[in-house]
A and B are shown apart, each in its own frame.
Chain A
């Protein structure tokens, strides 16, 4: 294992190298560009034996990855923001075809107003595309997701593409010390991809066919079951990962001081660290505060949320997303979990970080204050009471 000082994009590229994808197809877009640059350098210098396909658009990037996966190759692509939205037509082709492609998405705002900075409106808009969606908190977790995502996606009980999200700039362009596993152990963790779901001269198949009203819904039901199956496979993958590399992960979500917490803030991505720090600070002042970090949005950790917050007096959801005319989509999902768990407590939505707006120490302290003392159902961080 080697330690290196890397940005989130660079760390992710190292993780992809260890996973040995046979085909990489990607189109550059800020803040994803560096992951693609590093991978193309690795292919150029021979340290990664992979076919790097230069494409003219994100639509083609994912189409290429689907084609590669359809001949049984391990495929990788990466994008961000408008690029992900340009791919949107191909996303359900990949998931419906059950092609276990891994994509890194650098979470970035969507136009207009045009903006290159981080928020999560790009990936969250694609929650229904049938892809697994994970959110990293730091570069190390990003690298580890690169390896684990292939194991989970390619597992025969799952066979579903996997989108790993890293907050634009805050993770993609921020440097930290990262442990890079040795290739030998990575190979032990992740065996080569094997599937019957491929074009094969020895065993000719009709691929990616149509299915009319009579049968279509059964395919969709099976897709849903596969996403639910992923819950168990994620656990298995993390145990296997811990056994081989020594780093432990906590499944669909991560809890922090929630056991006896009265007020819990639920969030995702890189902001979770600051939330935990504020929870500690408030604990020192006698407030029983805790944090839940959602690591996965699909499959959604319904039961895990219920377990984590069942003794709380109130919860808040802080997300970098808004479904205009409604509320934050993560909030909608969390409320559904609370309802299913029979938990009747106040819940408040905090929309922050849109277009890369900094979420400060004071903002999070204020969010905990509002969770305790009551607020509007949906609150925009930095906009007090609107006009």
Chain B
């Protein structure tokens, strides 16, 4: 199962675990605020080969209906998926 965002605001003292360990896959806040360029998948070119999925250092790419899907809540915009795609199916576009 892919971790998903369970956004939680206003954490109280007792909501925070004693140590840095908690239920696996529990993400409480987005982490992509410094992204300046974003990868955009061209669905017509993408063949779902999963190379980008393998190379993504943040694990934010999944494959749905045989096409790459990027989780922009956690993508840092590094561009490795763009670099690795042999079909040039991923373009980096400026964040606005």
Chain A interface residues (CB < 8 Å from chain B): 96-98, 159, 196-198, 204-212, 214-215, 218-219, 221-222, 226
Contacts and interface: CB of A to CB of B under 8 A. Distances in A.
B94 interface: no
Contacts of B22: 205-206, 209
Contact of A205 (B13, B16, B23, B28): B23
B24 A212 contact: no
Which 5 A-B pairs rank lowest in CB-CB distance, beginning with the nearest? A98-B19, A204-B24, A197-B19, A218-B16, A205-B21
Contact of B20 (A196, A204, A219): A219
A226 B25 CA distance: 27
B95 interface: no
B21 A206 contact: yes
A64 B13 CA distance: 31
Interface in B32-81: none
Using C-beta atoms within 8 Å of the partner chain, give the interface range for chain B. 10 to 19
Given A98-B18, A159-B18, A214-B29, 17 more contacts: A98-B19, A196-B21, A198-B21, A204-B23, A205-B23, A205-B24, A206-B22, A206-B26, A207-B20, A208-B20, A209-B22, A210-B31, A212-B31, A215-B16, A218-B16, A219-B16, A221-B13
Contacts of B11: 214-215, 218
B58 to A, nearest CB: 12
25 contacts: A96-B20, A97-B19, A98-B18, A98-B19, A197-B18, A197-B19, A204-B23, A205-B22, A206-B21, A206-B24, A206-B25, A207-B20, A208-B20, A208-B21, A209-B20, A211-B20, A214-B29, A215-B11, A215-B16, A215-B28, A215-B29, A218-B13, A218-B16, A219-B20, A221-B13
A98 B17 CA distance: 11
A269 B72 CA distance: 55
Contacts of A218: 11, 13, 16
Interface of B: 11, 13, 16, 18-26, 28-29, 31
Nearest to A207: B21
Task: Determine chain B's interface SS by DSSP, over half rule.
Answer: loop
A205 B16 CA distance: 15
A159 B19 CA distance: 8
Task: Determine chain A's interface SS by DSSP, over half rule.
Answer: loop
Nearest to B22: A206
Contacts of B19: 97-98, 159, 197
Contacts of A206: 21-26
A208 B17 CA distance: 12
A207 B24 CA distance: 8
B29 A212 contact: yes
Contacts of B20: 96-98, 207-209, 211, 219
Given A206-B26, A222-B16, A197 B31 contact: no
A196 B19 CA distance: 9
Contacts of B24: 204-206
Nearest to A212: B29
Contacts of B13: 218, 221
Nearest to A204: B24
A204 B13 CA distance: 23
A221 B17 CA distance: 12
Contacts of A96: 20
A194 to B, nearest CB: 14
Nearest to A70: B21
A198 B22 CA distance: 10
B9 to A, nearest CB: 9
Contacts of A205: 21-24
A159 B21 CA distance: 13
Which of B18, B19, B31 is most buried by chain A, counting CB atoms within 10 A of its CB?
B19
A209 B22 CA distance: 9
B18 A222 contact: yes
Nearest to A214: B29
A214 B31 CA distance: 12
A277 to B, nearest CB: 45
B11 to A, nearest CB: 6
A210 B20 CA distance: 8
Contacts of A159: 18-19
A205 B23 CA distance: 5
B49 to A, nearest CB: 29
A340 to B, nearest CB: 25
Given A215-B11, A218-B16, A197 B21 contact: yes
Nearest to B3: A206
